[in-house]
Every structure is written in structure tokens, then in C-alpha cells.
A and B are shown apart, each in its own frame.
Chain A
Amino acid sequence: MNKIKRWRYLAIVSVLALLVAACGGDGEGSDTTEAAPDTTEAPPDTDTTEGSTETTGATGEPEGEPIVIGGTLALTGFLAPTAAIHQAVGEVFVERINEQGGLLGRPVEWQLLDDESVPDQSAALYERLITEDEVDLVIGPYGTGNITAGMAVAERYGYVFPHHTASLTYAYNYACHFSSWSTGLHPNITNPNLVYDAIESSGNTPETIGFVINEFPGTMFIAYGEPGTDEGGAVTEAENRGYEVVLDLTFPTAITDWAPIAAQVADADPDFLYIGGLGVNASSLITAMNAIDYSPRGMFTQWPAPGPLLETEGADGIMSVTIFEEHPPFTDDPEAVEVAALINEALAEAGIPYTKVETQAAASWTAWEYLQQAAEGAGSLDQQAMCDYLLENGAQTLFHGDIEFFPDEQNYYVDLSKVKQIQDDDWFVVYPEEFAAPDRSVTYPLN
């Protein structure tokens, strides 16, 4: 082969490698932070109550034209590991609502499309769902970037937009978006302080702290506060408490080698290690720290994949945040136990190894409840009426109790997060005390 031809192929492959690497991630997220625009156009056909009944809470067989709920999820791509949970939960919810008489007496269908973990694709598909498929309702996708993109479309057509776990609370000023992940408007202040309170509830206060933060926008927001402001953030809040920050690292979302980070953590040797991580970040870092024979005295990770951490040697004692766990007092409600069992079964059938209901599954179920209660409360599928209903009445949810929506708090209610910790090879809520599993409290330091 002549040199020019070889060069051409080298260039093609290199471009491909660069493109794929740029698009890729490690299953732990990548994002855009673009806020939803303010413009609102009239929806093409938002009041599709034709054929529906005005009654709510029907218990007989659903009748009439199905109500089609459109939405996307990251069925493929780097968000797919977590989106699979949302798919399983959504399927359980739709099956259950149909068994219980449908929505407004009509059967419900979920038109689910794959946004491939790409925000642009999410926006395009919501546009299609609303304008071409003319779905009756929409439900949000998974992943902050995809939610942000989908929300902009929903806002343009005035659709009520319940969604699960968008982390950039400050970015969403659309009045009819409803987050089912109640973190309050300032989780960059409330979340870290909850964690620090939890640590100090052990009777021991760390003198030094180290931060290892994924450059994913959501984790950066929690760690450093809203971009362009100096308000809040886990680092600042730690300093405010008098903890000495001895390590402050950020790492790329598509990271392949954890050893250098582990070495720097060991070198700094903080009393407490705060991992602003997603997915398997913490699991990978703990493995790398074990490999250099280092064990932190205390650890926290922001939004982990809970299953792999349980399988990771050296992860015992790590803390995280959650909104629901399958133990008392969360399971005091028999219906919560019943639904959790259905979800466990669905997750197992979907081949998902960790089948317990925690933040993702609970938030997913809650988003569907918002949609159901908005329609039933409004007595129709009129988007504005549904939005008004939720704003005025809030929602009664199975996993989070009663939720209110305050538009000036971007509909994020208040921070309902709790601190959980791996103890005896399982996750238990350990703080606040009133939500702690029986006979469980924060363990710190670990060694």
C-alpha cells in the first residue's frame, strides 16, 4: 500500500477514534447545561379528552381510545445502565394502572423511544412525539442532559413534563416541569451539609477532607455550586465548618485509569474522602486504592450504582444519599412494600442485577404518579389544567409522601435526601435518625 493511501486510512480511523471517544463515556454521564427557553407555543392538540370520562379513580376495565404517553429513555449508550431501571419501573406502573381501571377510565399506552443517551436525539424525539405522533401526555427521559433537552420541547408546546433525576436544579424555570427527585433548589448547600451532619452525628468530626469530583455538570454543581456564583458547594461548605481541604481533584467522565487518583488520595490521606462520583466511579476508585494498600477513614459518594459497590472489596462503610430504601420506616406502608416487590420482580426479569428500590426506581415511580394525579385531578388531559392542578395541590406519592411544588423553587420541593451507608454488606439509611434503619447509625471513622 502506498504511503498516501495509508495516511488516508490513518486519518479516517483517527477521526473515528476521536469522534467516538468524544461521544463516549464510562456509563457515568455526560451532559449539557443549556436551560430551557422561555418561549411557549400552543400545543398542536393538547386537549385530547374526547372519549374520556370525567370520573377519576375508575376501578373497572378501562374503555375507549388508549391514552398514549410518549417519552424517551436512554435504552442504548452510556446512560443505559440506569435508564434500564426507569424502563422497568415505567412498565410496571403502566401495567398496574391499566389493571386498576386505567387513566380517566381509558387504557394507557406508553410509547417509548430510544434517545441513545444523546440530548439532541431526545429533543428531536419529543418533537416527533408531540407534533407527529400527537401523544396525549409526555413523561421525561433519564439523564440531566436528555431531560434538559426534552424539557425545552415540552415547554414549547406547553406539555406537563414530569421527570426523574435532573440534577441542575437552577437551570429549569419552566413552570410545568415537575421533578420527582426532591432535592430542593439548593442541593449544593443542603446535600453536603446533610452528609457533614451525618458524619458528625457519629461523635467524630474530620479535621481534613479530600474531594475527588467527576466533571459531570451535576456533580460539579453539588461540589462547587452554581457556575458563575460563589454560593454553596461541598468544598465551600466543608471549609465553612472548619474542615481543612487537603485534596481537590476533578476527573473526566470517560476515565480509564484510576491509579493516579488513588495515589493522590493516599498521598493526601484525608480524614474523610468525598467522591463526587456517578455510577461505578466510587467502585473503581476504591479498587484502585485497595491496590495500593490504602483504605480511607471515611468515604462518601454522590450518586453511585448501588449494586457494584456492594460487590467491591473495601467499600464497606461508604456513605451516599438516597430518597428511599427497602427497610423500615420506608416500608411501613404495605402498599410501598407491594409495589417495591413488583419492581424487584420487573428488574430481575429485565436482567438487572441489583433489584432493590432506591433513588432511581423510587423517583421513576413518583414521576408516573405525578402524571396520573395531574390528569385525574384536572379530570382531563388539558395540559394547562393538569399543570395548575399539580401546582395548587401537589402530589401524594407512595415513596416520598406528600410533595408540594413551588415554582420559585423550580418545583424541586425541599431536599428529602437521606444518608445511607454500606454496613454488613448491605445499604442502610443511617441519617437522619428518624429515617435510620432499626439499630443502625453512622459508622465513622472506619479504621
Chain B
Amino acid sequence: MDLLVQGIVTGVLIGGLYALMSLGISLSWGALKIINLAHFSFILLSAYLVYQLTVTFEVDPLLMTLVVVPAFFVVGVLTQMFFHWAKVDEFKSLIITFGIFIILQSLTQTIWSADFRRISSDLNVYGSGSIIIGGIALPTPVLLAFIVALAIAVVMSFVLGRTYFGKAVRAVAQDPEMARAYGVDTRRVAVILSGLSGAFSAMAGVFIAIGQAIFPGLAVSWFGVVFSVVILGGLGNTVGALTAGVIVGVAAGAAAVTWGPLAAPLVTFVILIAALLFRPEGLLTSRSVA
């Protein structure tokens, strides 16, 4: 029983990390109609920057959040400006951002080599730390990721639902032409939203860097789980992304404990297929901007 509880608890927490990795893609796809596969490279690049800055300056890796989050906000802004300039639509975005993904992956390999990198435990106190409650361990990296994902989901849900900017985002998502006719600066809205997506990817990169070894090919392994979360959560739905992340994390974790680790990816893809068949609009459609 403890084993299953532990599996579920860590599944909930890792769901936060999945959500953090998915938020940017979900917002970008839902509101801007951009399927930004380069987002995976942003996460990886952020992780590498956190690694490099931490080992170079021998500082707390979490402090690097102050560097990478603003930096990737700017990257997100520039990316959207490029998409705007190139008049990229939803389908083209899939192809173009896949190209950017490959280019950035190669760039990562050129700079840091193909070998594994890991922040040493001397510099990374979070890597293998945990909080024990009632015999159940809450691993620090995913616990922190969950807290941050929860905060972002709640704040973004409020922003998108209750503020002028949120209304503008929803207007842009539903009908950009009409939004423009009503005085919404659609370009500005898109640029800010893309910047936020970049910032969220950087945040995910921080927790990847403190939680595991990184290498250029790592990003490929995230595709399945992230798209499961994005589709299950509903496009542009931040609370949905967190909910879906938790569902995927718990289902995969419980399956791994009950039927063995080989069952975890099976469950993830069953969820993806089931979501496409029965809830292609996502679990929490009323909160979606799309």
C-alpha cells in the first residue's frame, strides 16, 4: 500500500513538471495557433544554461532562474516577431519550429558536446533531497516544480479569465481580425504571450537541470508526455495543463508500480489516444482560451 501511495504522490508531483513543460506549448497553440516544437529546445537550452552558469560561478542553481526566465522571455518575444514577420500559420509553424528544434539541438551539441552533463551534488543541494511526511517522500526537484506549476497555473488562469490582457488573449484566440477591429493590439498580445511561453519553458529547464543529467538528445523523450498533457489539458488552458499533468503522472506512476515500469509509457499513450478520441477539446474546456 505504501508503495502505491508513494507512486501516486510522486506521480502528482512529477505532473507539475510535465505541466510546466507543457504550459508554453499549450498557450502558444491555443491562443496564437502556433505549434511551437522549438519550445522543447528552449527547455533544453535553459537546462544547459542553468548547468553552465551554476558550474562556472559555483552558485545555487535556483538563482539561475533570475537569468534564464527573463532571457527566454526575450527569446519568446523574438520568436513571435519572427513568426509574425514570416506570416507563419498553424501548419507552417509545425514544420518551421521542428526545423528550429533540430537547429537548436545541434547548436547545443556543438557547444556542450553530445556527452552527459550533470550539476555535481556539491553545487546542487536539491538534486536528491526530499521531505518525508508520514513515511512518504516528496522529492525536492519535482516538489518545487509542482509548486511553481501550481502558482503559474492559478495566476495565469486569473490573468486570462479576469484581466483586460486575458480578454484580449481570448479575443485574439477566437478571431484575431475581429479583435483588431475592436482595438486590441493583437501583435502586442501575441508577443507578450509568446514571451510568457518562453519564460515558462525556461522555468521547466531549471527543474530539469537540478533533477537529472542532461544531453542534447534528451528533448526528444519529452514529446510523447508533453503532447499528452497539452491535448488532455485543452489548448491554452493552464489549469487544464496542470490537471492533465497530474493525471498523466499519477496514471504512469501507478501503472509502473502496479504492472512494472514498461507499463508507464503505454499508459501515457493510451491517455493521449483516449483524449483524442473522446475529449479532443480537452478536459476543462470552459477555461480554455482556444
A27–B142 Cα gap in the complex (Å)?
A: 22
- A6 contacts across to B, CB distance below 8 A: 280
CB pair A81–B260 under 8 Å, yes or no, is no
A364 to B139, CA, bound (A): 39
Chain B residue with minimal CB distance to A288?
B139
| Least CB distance, B204 to chain A, in whole angstroms | 13
Min CB gap A196→B, angstroms: 25
**Interchain CB contact under 8 A, B113 and A256:** no
Closest residue to A17 on the B side, CB-wise? Answer: B227
Interface residues in B103-118 by Cβ distance below 8 A to A read 105-106, 109, 111-118
Of A93-101, A127-135, A309-317, the one with at least 4 CB within 8 A of chain B: A309-317
A14 contact from B140, B231, B256, Cβ within 8 A: B231
Determine if A144 is an interface residue (Cβ-Cβ < 8 Å).
no
**A342-359 interface (Cβ within 8 A of B):** 350-354
Known pairs A10-B280, A284-B212; A23 contacts B220 (CB<8 A): yes
Indicate with 1 or 0, residue by residue over B234-254, a CB within 8 angstroms of chain A CB atoms. 000000000000000100110
Contact partners of A9 in chain B: CB under 8 A: 35, 90-91, 94
Q: Please, which residues of chain B bring their CB within 8 A of the CB of A23?
A: 220
Structural contact, B113 and A352, CB atoms closer than 8 A: yes
Which residues from chain B contact A314 at a C-beta distance below 8 Å?
Answer: 128
Q: Which residue of A lies closest to B37 (CB)?
A: A16
Complex contact B221–A76 (CB within 8 A): no
- In the complex the two chains form, what is the Cα distance from A104 to B84 in whole Å? 60
Q: How far is the CB of B267 from chain A (nearest CB, A)?
A: 11
Query: Which of B3, B35, B90, B256 has the most chain A CB atoms inside 10 A of its CB?
Result: B256
Residue-wise, chain A 251-279 has the 8 Å CB interface mask toward B (1 for contact) of 11011110111011001000000000001
Stretch at the interface among B129-137, B149-157, B184-192: B129-137
Cβ-based interface call for A322 (8 A): no
In the complex, A18 Cα to B249 Cα: how many Å? 18
Number of A positions contacting B (CB below 8 A): 68
| A57 CB-CB contact with B under 8 Å | no
Q: How far is the CA of A25 from the CA of B224 in the complex (A)?
A: 12
Residue contact A254 to B265, C-beta cutoff 8 Å: yes
Residue in B closest to A294 when the chains form the complex, CB atoms: B137
Is B7 a contact partner of A263 (Cβ separation < 8 A)?
A: yes
Answer whether residue A103 sits at the interface, using C-beta atoms and an 8 A cutoff. Answer: no
B15: nearest residue on chain A (CB-CB)? A257
Question: Which chain A positions have C-beta within 8 A of B35?
Answer: 9, 13
Closest B residue to A24 using CB positions: B220
Q: Is the CB of A257 within 8 A of B220?
A: no
Are B90's CB and A312's CB within 8 A?
no
* A183 CB within 8 Å of chain B: no
Q: Which residues of B lie under 8 Å from residue A24 when comparing CB positions?
A: 217, 220-221, 223
> With an 8 A cutoff between CB atoms, is A195 at the interface?
no
Known contacts A76-B109, A353-B115; A256/B221 CB under 8 A: yes
- Contacts of B137 on A, CB cut-off 8 Å? 291-293
B252 pairs with A305, CB closer than 8 A: no
Residue A81 contacts which of B128, B215, B249 (CB distance < 8 angstroms)? B215
- B261 in contact with A352 (CB, 8 Å): no
Residues A307 and B115 in contact, CB atoms below 8 Å apart: yes
B260 near A27 with CB under 8 A, answer no
On chain B, the residues within 8 Å of A290 by CB distance are 127-130
Q: A260-B7, A287-B212 are in contact. Are A351 and B113 (CB under 8 A)?
A: yes
Known interface pairs A21-B223, A252-B264; A351-B213 also in contact (CB < 8 Å): no
A10–B280 CA distance with the chains assembled, in angstroms? 8
B-contact bits for A344-379, CB 8 A (1 contact / 0 none)? 000000111110000000000000000000000000
A193 at the binding interface (Cβ < 8 Å): no
Nearest Cβ in chain B — how far from A84, in angstroms? 4
Closest residue of chain B to A352, judged by CB?
B115
Interface residue B120 (Cβ < 8 Å from any Cβ of A): yes
Interfacial chain B residues near A409, Cβ < 8 Å: none
Say if the beta carbon of B33 comes within 8 Å of chain A. Answer: yes
Digit string of B207-220 for contact with A (CB within 8 Å is 1, else 0)?
00001110111101
Cross-chain contact B10 with A249 (CB below 8 angstroms): no
In the assembly, what is the distance between CA of A12 and CA of B222, in Å? 17
A21 to B140, CA, bound (A): 27
CB pair B262–A18 under 8 Å, yes or no, is no
Q: Is B257 an interface residue (CB 8 A)?
A: yes
Closest to A26 in B: B221
Give the nearest-CB partner of B91 in chain A.
A9
CB distance from A299 to the nearest CB of B (A): 14
Are B223 and A307 interface neighbours, CB within 8 A? Answer: no
Whole-angstrom distance from the CB of B128 to the nearest CB of chain A? 3
Contact of B127 among A25, A250, A287 (CB under 8 A): A287
Nearest-neighbor residue (CB-CB) of A12 within chain B: B94
Question: CA of A112 to CA of B109 in the docked complex: distance in angstroms?
Answer: 17
**Which residue of A is nearest B114, CB measured?**
A80
Residues of B within 8 A of A311 (CB): 118-121
Q: Check: B272 CB closer than 8 A to any chain A CB.
A: yes
Q: Which of B10, B128, B220 contacts A260 (CB 8 A)?
A: B10
Q: Across the interface, which residues of B come within 8 angstroms of A353, CB to CB? A: 113, 115-117
Cα of A251 to Cα of B3 in the assembled complex, Å: 17
Residue of A17, A20, A80, A261 near B261 (CB, 8 A) is A261
Can you list 23 A-B pairs, Cβ within 8 angstroms, ordered by A? A1-B33, A12-B91, A25-B217, A26-B218, A76-B114, A77-B217, A82-B115, A84-B113, A255-B261, A255-B264, A259-B14, A260-B7, A260-B261, A263-B3, A264-B257, A287-B212, A288-B139, A292-B130, A293-B130, A307-B116, A308-B117, A311-B118, A351-B111
Interface residues of chain B, those whose CB is within 8 Å of chain A, are: 2-3, 6-7, 10-11, 14, 33, 35, 90-91, 94, 98, 105-106, 109, 111-121, 127-130, 132, 137, 139-142, 211-213, 215-218, 220-228, 231, 249, 252-253, 256-257, 260-262, 264-265, 269, 272-273, 276, 280
Please name 17 further chain A to chain B contacts, defined as beta carbons within 8 Å, in addition to the given A255-B264, A353-B117, sorted by A numbering: A9-B35, A11-B276, A14-B227, A17-B227, A249-B261, A250-B261, A255-B261, A256-B225, A259-B10, A259-B139, A259-B142, A259-B253, A260-B10, A263-B10, A307-B116, A311-B121, A353-B115
- List the 7 shortest-distance A-B pairs measured between CB atoms, nearest first: A291-B139, A290-B128, A80-B114, A313-B121, A260-B256, A21-B224, A259-B10
